[in-house]
């Protein structure tokens, strides 16, 4: 998957920069999400990996997408077809979403706690994380009783592990050393 990300990144960045320039980020996000779903379709994926001429493939893809793609979106499809990169559209859409979140100074944070967090706890956690990360935070809460108590917070590359299970594991390692 990292190879696909490497292939998709320049296209996603170019599309995002163009969308920012034209003040059409939401429109491009919709177009790429739709095109990504079309490219991920099993029948379309077989066509994309087959031996079809780039012009024909771009025309077929644009016809399937129809009104969902504007002129610039159709041009992107043509460029991707010429470079045999149409199969990367789902990843391009995902990376575009990440660029948008970074642009909007937003971050999704996965919180796994030992018990369900109350609304007050979630509000307090969001305020604390927004201050620490200097971004607007969107929480995705999960419950894992195996943590015993506490929580594990994943925010991009940052992991904050305040679970009792983790503390007990560290204590066991220290005692064995």
All domains in the chain, ordered by first residue: 2-102 (1.10.520.20), 105-176 (3.40.30)
> What phi and psi, each to the nearest 5 degrees, are found at residue 7?
-70, -40
Q: What tokens appear for 154 in the block?
A: 């994943």
Measured between alpha carbons, how far is 177 from 169 in angstroms, rounded to an integer?
12
Note down pLDDT in tens along the chain; length 177 residues: 567 788 899 999 999 999 999 988 999 999 999 999 988 888 887 777 777 777 888 888 888 888 888 899 889 989 988 888 888 899 999 999 989 988 888 888 999 998 999 999 999 999 999 999 888 899 999 999 988 898 999 988 889 998 888 888 899 999 997
Which pLDDT score, from 0 to 100, does residue 40 have? 87
pTM (two decimals): 0.68
Which pLDDT score, from 0 to 100, does residue 120 have? 95
Looking at residue 153, the DSSP 8-state letter turns out to be E
Which pLDDT score, from 0 to 100, does residue 122 have? 94
DSSP annotation string for 41-66: SHHHHHHHTSS--HHHHHHHHHHHHG
């Amino acid at each position: 998957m990292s190879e696909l990300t490497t292939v998709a990144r320049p296209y996603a960045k170019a599309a995002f920069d163009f969308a920012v320039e034209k003040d059409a980020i939401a429109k491009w996000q919709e177009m790429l999400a739709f095109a990504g779903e079309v490219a991920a379709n099993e029948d379309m994926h077989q066509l994309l990996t087959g031996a079809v001429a780039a012009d024909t493939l771009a025309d077929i893809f644009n016809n399937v997408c129809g009104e969902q793609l504007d002129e610039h979106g159709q041009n992107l499809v043509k460029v991707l077809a010429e470079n045999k990169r149409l199969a990367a559209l789902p990843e391009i859409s995902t990376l575009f979403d990440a660029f948008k979140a970074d642009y909007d100074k937003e971050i999704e944070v996965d919180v796994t706690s030992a018990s369900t967090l109350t609304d007050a706890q979630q509000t307090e956690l969001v305020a604390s994380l927004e201050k620490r990360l200097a971004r607007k935070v969107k929480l995705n809460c999960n419950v894992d009783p195996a943590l015993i108590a506490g929580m594990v917070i994943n925010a991009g590359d940052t992991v904050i592990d305040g679970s009792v299970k983790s503390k007990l594991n560290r204590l066991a390692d220290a005692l064995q050393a």
